[in-house]
Structure formats: C-alpha cells, structure tokens
Amino acid sequence: MEEYRGYVIEVVENDEKQYPYKAIARKEKEQIKHKGYSKLQAIDLVKGTINLEIARQCKQ
C-alpha cells in the first residue's frame, strides 16, 4: 500500500492474462482503478489519473 496526494493506492492481482495487476486508489468514497502489465505500470496509470483529477478541480 502506498499514499499519493491524499489517496491510498493498493495493488491486487487480476485474473486477466493481458493485465495481471490492478491498482485501486481510494480517498473517502472516491475510487480510481487501472489495470496494468506490471504493478508499477498500474500504479503509474492511477497516479496519472489522480493528477488529472486534481488539475480539473483547480480549473473550476
């Protein structure tokens, strides 16, 4: 488990051959999920989505 910008990121194994890992970021009731070829890729995709979400909130 890892924390990033207020989100707690957890990586779990996925049953799909193409994407064997899934990263789930949680912050209160909000969840962001991404699948990846590796644990690192899944985490990087989730972090990218978190950054986009924060950028969208700043523009409002």
pLDDT tens across 24-39, in order? 999 999 999 999 999 9
Q: Is the pLDDT of residue 60 over 80?
A: no
Q: The pTM is what?
A: 0.89
* pLDDT class of 59 with cuts at 50, 70, 90: confident
Tell me, rounded to whole angstroms, the distance of Cα 37 from its chain centroid.
14
Topology of domain 2-59, per CATH?
Double Stranded RNA Binding Domain (3.30.160)
To which residue do tokens 């924390």 refer? 3
Average of per-residue pLDDT across 4-16: 95
